[in-house]
Amino acid sequence: MELRLARAPGKSRTGIFFLTSPITRPMISRTPNTLIKPAPVAVCVCLAVFLISGCMTPPPKAPENVCGIFDEKRSWYRAAQRARDRWKSPVGITMSFIYQESGFRANSRPERQRLLGVIPWKRKSSAKGYAQAIDATWKKYVKDAGDWFPDRTNFEDAVDFVGWYNYQSQRNLGISRTDAKSLYLAYHEGWRGYR
């Protein structure tokens, strides 16, 4: 599609020209009698942004209501059930950990520290995703769980990670799998910090 520029009323040859098209609102150009073709780079960038934003799962509408979450996101229910069956971790405890850690936001990360109070700097930890798993613990999980290409921003992988972590806490620290308070302290502070 080619669009032509029209001179603005009352302007000289070096004045401002407007893109005339029934589809778009006027765009400003300072070059007279120029044909404007849609920039392929801009189209590609817009398409990439659109596709990437479509891949992110939005958080549930009512994150405090587990039944509502499972009604809204049936695949999350199935993932939580699989994690429960695999690691014997109650669904309510697993979901409460994810709610507390990330508010069910896939791309959740710790805030950046500020250099001189203004410039964004390093993050306080390597925590990432629904479960806010740090790099070292995530590597242990990947090694133990045997999943192919797990991702911290994938809900199914995150809920399985929380189940695995609680199973390890029960096994290594002797915490009951229904003791949500002690399990969360071990989850938040780490196994060494809990001892």
Residue 91 makes CB contacts below 8 A (sequence gap 6+) with 66, 80, 81, 83, 84
Residue 169 has pLDDT above 80, yes or no: yes
**CA-CA-CA-CA torsion for 100, 149, 140, 191, nearest 10 degrees?**
0
Long-range CB pairs of 23-29 (<8 Å, 24+ gap) are 29/5
Alpha helical stretches, state H, the chain: 40-55, 66-72, 74-87, 91-102, 135-145, 155-173, 180-194
Please, what are the domains in the chain?
Answer: 3-55 (no CATH), 66-194 (1.10.530.10)
Where residue 133 falls among pLDDT bands split at 50, 70, 90? very high
Contact partners, residue 122, CB within 8 Å, separation at least 6: 112, 113
Residue-wise pLDDT for 80-101, tens only, equals: 999 999 999 999 999 999 999 9
Where is average pLDDT lowest: 39-48, 61-70, 83-92, 176-185? Answer: 39-48
Does position 102 have pLDDT exceeding 70, yes or no? yes
Check: pTM over 0.85? Answer yes or no.
no
pLDDT in tens, 64-84: 899 999 999 999 999 999 999
Q: What is the CA radius of gyration of the chain?
A: 26
The chain-wide mean pLDDT, for the chain, equals 80
Whether pLDDT at 138 is above 90: yes
Query: 170 pLDDT exceeds 80?
Result: yes
